[in-house]
Amino acid sequence: MLAIYKREMRSYFTTSIGYIFLASALVISAVIFSVSTVFSQSADVSVYFSGLIFVLMIFLPILTMKSFSEEKRTKTEQLLLTSPVSTTQMVLGKVFSSFTMLAIFVVLSLLFLIPLGAFVGEDTSGPNAALVMGNVIALLLIGMCFIAVGVFVSSLTENQFAAIVITIVALLFMFAINLFNSMIEVYAIRVIFDWLSIYARYQVFTYGIFDIGALIYYLSFAGVFVFLTVRVFESRKYR
Amino acid sequence: MVEIKNLVKNYGNKNAVDDISFTIQEGEIVGFLGPNGAGKSTTMNIITGYLSATSGTVTVLGKDIFKEPMAVKKQIGFLPEQPPLYVDMTVLEYLSFVFDLKGCDFNKREHLNEVMEKVKILDVKDRLIRNLSKGYRQRVGIAQAIIGNPKFIIFDEPTVGLDPVQIIEIRNLIRSLGKKHTVILSTHILSEVQAICDRVIIINEGKLIANEKTADLNRVVGQSAKMKIKVAGPNREVLNMLRTLQGILRVESDGIREGDTYSYLLETNPAIDVRKIIFNALASHSWPMMGMESVEAELEDVFVRLIQSTQGKER
């Protein structure tokens, strides 16, 4: 697993995908930051952080699109699948490498907050540590779910472009059901949609509250998609 | 060492591998021969654990690939039809990745140097794989397969698309690997098997049709020989005269003509050396012989003959 992880990390920075991801995501983040704080003369960073979710929604698929689509196209997956590494380890290697990139992005995105800190008095509503920590954890968890979905989609197709589009559409769908779910009458569908709606549980963290239930939810959500990805490879053997 | 029993693989309704059984002894180089689409790659992919079988068992060194895939995969080096190379890496980076991937536990630098020396890629070790020629890429693919000193190496069509010089080099390389490893080599080129392998397994349409020592195969192949001659003389008369000669089973004009010289394809009885007979007969008519060459048996001929001979046995 470590070998796959290392190779992925390396390839992010040799194929420039990693730089493209970081640079473009940070530029958009900077714009959101400027608009939501500097231009609106506010020290409230909650808008900034919820904006970052959309940045991740659009840019994380860039990282995950390659993960298996590329391997399938160039047949390098044959090397991975015939080497003494389990399918789960292989999938986790990919997920963790994208997660590392996500973490790098989140850390860098916090740099914008530093100048803001100068304006925070003792009684202002500016960024306090608990609130920032909560948002960081929320971003990492929700980003992890995006990655798991993206890796799953990329295991289904050898076309990277299809992978990126399908992933973004899937993530947008998950966002949308959050909005209209309450209108659905059928209870069973509502339960399923509620489970898919990864945005619903995000709010708690942004108040700086650590919610164990949501943590478990996000971990299991990502776990389910990792499991599904593993199943894709296992079932392909029997095709 | 490797035992395959009643292996079946269906793709939907299509029977890609149909009840194949064979065993391979330690230290053998076995040729896996068949036309494109015969089921060679499928069988190899099953042995390496890339695909699963519909039914049947594959045992490598006493371990079942379906039950203990990790243990078996550690013993197998595999070069698929298309070498699984990450073209954005240098040769050394790539091989070092494979070394880690296989979880090898000996000195990395020594081992990689040894492998690169064996397949003669030391001079390109710091180049990006993307920039390598096809022959070099194939060698990097072979290097990848032999990392970790697996007991058993599988090569799927290793010489396809290479130029003649590269083909000879790769064949020599495989032959030298055969001294230390057990090797399966798939190909659709008969002469390749004859050049490298101790034993040949022939499959066609998913069925095993022969499992013979290479020497024995040559006997089957040699049951009738083919040759091509060029004669300066009247086409039809030469043809009729050749048909009357002893030891010649079939004659046909292949339609190639240079001036008054026509060429003919002959099928002859290998027990009789027809060369003198033909020469004397042509000389007596003063039709000069402009050329004579023997034609190597093609895979299709072998198939026809093998299928005929197995049907003959059944009767």
Q: What is the DSSP letter of A37?
A: I
Q: Do A2 and B100 touch (CB under 8 A)?
A: yes
Q: What is the model's pLDDT at position B308?
A: 67
Say if A83 is an interface residue toward chain B (CB within 8 Å): yes
CA distance A31 to A177: 27
Average pLDDT, chain A: 87
pLDDT value at A98 more than 60: yes
Residue in chain B nearest A74 by alpha carbon: B84
CB B95, CB B112: distance < 8 Å: yes
Query: Which residue is closest to B84 within chain A, CA to CA?
Result: A76
Query: Min CA distance, B60 vs chain A (Å)?
Result: 14
Q: Using the structure block, give the residue that is written with the tokens 């020469």.
A: B279
Q: Has residue B314 got a pLDDT over 70?
A: no
**B 33-62 residues with CB < 8 A to A:** 45, 48-52
pLDDT of residue B315: 46
User: In this predicted complex, what is the ipTM?
Assistant: 0.87
Domain B2-221, CATH number (from 3.40.50.1820, 3.30.70.260, 3.40.50.300, 3.40.190.10): 3.40.50.300
Measured distance between the N- and C-terminal CA atoms of chain A, rounded to whole angstroms: 25
Question: Nearest chain A Cα to B54, which residue?
Answer: A238
pTM above 0.90, yes or no: no
CA-CA distance, A103 to A140, in Å (whole number)?
A: 7
Beta carbons of A77 and B84 less than 8 Å apart: yes
A6 and chain B in contact, CB less than 8 A: yes
Q: Is residue A109 within 8 Å of A29, Cβ to Cβ?
A: yes
Q: What Å distances lie between residue B220 and B227, B296, B302, CA to CA? A: 17, 13, 8
Whole-angstrom Cα distance, residue B86 to residue B97?
A: 10
Distances (CA, A) of B157 to A108, A179, B165: 49, 55, 16
- Between A169 and B298, where is the model more confident? A169
- Which residue, A30, A25, A99, is CA-closest to A67? A99
At the second CATH level, the architecture of B225-296 is 2-Layer Sandwich (3.30)
Name the helix (H) or strand (E) containing B254: strand B248-258
| Yes or no, beta carbons of A78 and B84 under 8 Å apart | yes
Question: Which has the higher per-residue pLDDT, A187 or B242?
Answer: B242
| Closest to A63 in 3D by CA, of A13, A125, A118, A128 | A13
Domains of chain B, by residue range, sit at 2-221, 225-296
